[in-house]
Amino acid sequence: MALAGTRKRVRLAGLLSPITILLTVFFIAPLSILLVYAFLEPGLYGGVVWNFYDQNFGRILGWADGYYEEFDPVYFSIFGRSFRLAITTVLISLLLCYPAALWVTSLSERWRSFFLFLITLPFFASLVVRLFAWVLILKPTGWINETLISIGMIVKPFDMLYTEGAVVLGMVYVFIPFMFLPLYASLEKLDRSLLEASGDLGAGRFKTFMRVTLPLSVPGMVGGSIIVFIPSLGNFIVPDLLGGAKVLMIGNLIEQQFLEARNWPFGSALAWMVMVAVLLFLLIYVTVVNRAEALQEQ
């Protein structure tokens, strides 16, 4: 018996050691170093000085000494814009996906899997390429302007690229499958008999939707929102290609610190702030879902 227990333990250790080593050495350790870096002094010509230094966060949050490092409210406004754009992206993709997801659930089994296939497919096409498509469509000599000019609707091309709208459009476009799938999953799970009961009891379609369908799909809505929010908040590819220098987000700021300004400690501090924001949102998600599940059980 003791032998069997030992053997089992050895087997478990064997199964778990690869992931343990992988994540300790190449995940936990790098993130810890990132945290250490956020509290180190940036060297004059790139690199770091191994001193405890709280001015990296000071530059962002306001306790910089004003001598070596200066507090600059621009970082607040960039954070503000990132949150605003990420939340707009979430809301728009939610609004776009909901009716379509509802429609797909009303189809027969065969068609349902066909449309699910259609929605997952673009996820596999290269992200850069899908964004590049929008550059070609939106730019002053792009598809929209050329088409409108050739049919004589406008004379002068108008600017659509390098605006906040373009960035939101790009993020909605690339993250839309992430919103659709959880939403669809929660709508599909919905008990049809509840809808029928609501109808039998004299509620109209609108009322049924507001009182039954919508509340029961909250976990899917929140889940999709989180999965869209996380990659939107720290994004730098979309604002770089569609927002240009005009629409900076935290992601661009971090990238600049690493590849242009070579101020790694400051970049690390920014990155940790993104991390904390994301973890906070996740915590809210877990709480909301747990509460919703508790409500449903009652």
- Residue list 228-247, contact with another protein (CB under 8 A): 230-231, 233-237, 240-241
Q: Are 175 and 228 in contact (CB under 8 A)?
A: yes
Q: Is 71 or 133 the residue whose CB approaches another protein more closely?
A: 133
Shortest separation between residue 240's beta carbon and another protein, angstroms: 8
CA–CA distance, 256 with 236 (Å, rounded to integer): 10
Phi, psi for residue 39 in degrees, rounded to 5? -110, 25
Q: Are 255 and 82 in contact (CB under 8 A)?
A: no
Q: What is the DSSP string of 8-52?
A: HHHHHHHHHHHHHHHHIIIIIHHHHHHHHHHTEEEPBTBSEEEEE
Q: Of residues 2, 44, 129, 294, which one binds another protein by CB under 8 A?
A: 129
- Residue list 3-32, contact with another protein (CB under 8 A): 8, 11-12, 14-16, 18-19, 22-23, 26-27, 29-31
Q: DSSP alpha helices (H): ranges in the chain?
A: 2-23, 29-38, 55-61, 74-105, 109-124, 127-138, 143-150, 164-189, 192-200, 205-208, 214-216, 218-233, 237-238, 250-259, 264-297
Which part of the chain contacts another protein (CB under 8 A), choosing from 60-68, 137-145, 214-222, 290-298?
137-145
Shortest separation between residue 207's beta carbon and another protein, angstroms: 12
Site string for another protein, 141-170 (x = CB under 8 A): xxx--x---x--------------------
- Residue list 62-121, contact with another protein (CB under 8 A): 96-97, 99-100, 102-104, 106, 113, 115, 117-121
Please tell me whether residue 124 binds another protein under the rule CB under 8 A. yes
Q: Of residues 166, 212, 251, 266, which one binds another protein by CB under 8 A?
A: 251
Which part of the chain contacts another protein (CB under 8 A), choosing from 62-70, 186-194, 262-270, 287-295?
262-270
Shortest separation between residue 67's beta carbon and another protein, angstroms: 27
Shortest separation between residue 193's beta carbon and another protein, angstroms: 19
- Residue list 185-204, contact with another protein (CB under 8 A): 204
Q: Tell me how far CA of residue 84 lies from CA of 172, 173, 178, 194, 279, in angstroms.
A: 14, 17, 19, 37, 18
Please tell me whether residue 205 binds another protein under the rule CB under 8 A. yes
CA–CA distance, 243 with 249 (Å, rounded to integer): 9
| Per-residue tokens: 52 | 């405890």
